[in-house]
Amino acid sequence: MTPSVPDLHVEFDGRPATADDLRIPAFAGFGHFTAMQVRDRTVRGLALHLDRLDSANRELFGLPLAGERVRELIGHALDGAGARDASVRVHGYLPPGSTETVAVVTVREPVEPDDAPRSLMSVPYARAVPHIKRPGEFSQSYYGQQARRAGFDEALLTSPGGMVTEGSITNIGFLDGDSVVWPDAPALTGITMALLESGLARTGRPSVRRGVTLDGLGAYGAAFVTNSQGIAPVHRIDDTVFAVDEDLMKLLGQVYEDVPRDSV
């Protein structure tokens, strides 16, 4: 039986966070992060998470964030929380006046995949610098809240002209015949999305990126969303209804399950 995880366990560079430490994200929150689900001290796509952190840290702060160091810090935080299964986030911050990045690791209860079909409400918003995953996204949270108030599960972000980019907390994909289509638009390439792209290529199933517009959604046979918590079908975007393609969801689930896990 997996030990219970505290509501939130936070470590700053491998030590329990203090009140002074927490002033950094609270008052100087310019930074970046990655989120992962840990099971039995293993993670799918760990190398992609580490590359994401290092790349964002170099772009934002001009400093590397060594993957092996991050891996050790994740393991240390899991030990501190007494957990083998958990939801883990790793944040990179540069405190004011500092010349070294602080790596903040948070550990929470694991989230089990929810494959219930989702409904999405399109909104006219596209993130600036979308390739960097960062905290404190006001507009994403705002539009996500508006979507839920309107009876949808999530917001679907679109750029001028109705170009589909990404979900407020997900990537989105579509089925066109035998091909999986990802919107060719500025967006964050999620780890789950990247693992599915490479996994589908290994199976010989076409996976392409091309422009997707709101007025062209009816041409697609199915849709789905992905994030660190898993993969789920989409049954509605605004007034466009999609059937759940069980064969597609089974394929995506198998491709994802076949991804090797890395120890932390």
Statement: residue 69 has pLDDT above 60: yes
Residue 239, in any domain of the structure = yes
Residue 263, in any domain of the structure = no
CATH number of the domain enclosing 187: 3.20.10.10
pLDDT level of residue 28 (50, 70, 90 thresholds): confident
Structural domain ending residue among the three candidates 57, 90, 108: 108
Statement: residue 2 has pLDDT above 70: no
Three-class DSSP category at 141: helix
Residue 198, in any domain of the structure = yes
For residue range 80-134, list pLDDT tens digits in order: 999 999 999 999 999 988 999 999 999 999 999 899 999 999 999 999 999 999 9
Same domain, 153 and 64: no
Q: What is the pLDDT of residue 243?
A: 97
For residue range 46-56, list pLDDT tens digits in order: 999 999 999 99
Element of type H or E holding 36? strand 31-38
CATH number of the domain enclosing 38: 3.30.470.10
How much is the average pLDDT of 176-182? Answer: 96
How much is the average pLDDT of 58-84? Answer: 97
Q: What is the pLDDT of residue 4?
A: 54
Statement: residue 6 has pLDDT above 70: no
HSE of 85 in the Cβ direction (CA atoms, 13 Å)? 10
pTM of the model: 0.95
How much is the average pLDDT of 14-42? Answer: 93
Residue 113, in any domain of the structure = no
Structural domain ending residue among the three candidates 86, 108, 130: 108
Q: What is the pLDDT of residue 3?
A: 57
Residue 17, in any domain of the structure = yes
Same domain, 26 and 122: no
Statement: residue 1 has pLDDT above 50: no
Same domain, 167 and 230: yes
Same domain, 202 and 123: yes
Same domain, 124 and 237: yes
Same domain, 86 and 131: no
Q: What is the DSSP letter of 248?
A: H
| DSSP-assigned beta bridge partners for residue 122 | 156
Statement: residue 40 has pLDDT above 50: yes
Same domain, 128 and 70: no
Q: Is residue 106 a contact partner of residue 8, using CB atoms and an 8 Å limit?
A: yes
Residue 3, in any domain of the structure = no
Same domain, 239 and 126: yes
What does the alpha-carbon distance between residue 91 and residue 210 come to, in Å, rounded to a whole number? 31
For residue range 190-241, list pLDDT tens digits in order: 999 999 999 999 999 889 999 999 999 999 999 999 999 999 999 999 999 9
Same domain, 250 and 140: yes
Same domain, 99 and 127: no
Structural domain ending residue among the three candidates 89, 108, 127: 108
Same domain, 250 and 150: yes
Residue 221, in any domain of the structure = yes
- Domain count within the chain: 2
Question: CA nearest 237: which of 156, 145, 124?
Answer: 156
Residue 60, in any domain of the structure = yes
Average pLDDT value for the chain:
95
List the alpha helices (DSSP H) in the chain: 19-27, 46-61, 67-81, 138-149, 191-203, 246-257
Same domain, 130 and 250: yes
Print the domain residue range for 88.
Answer: 9-108
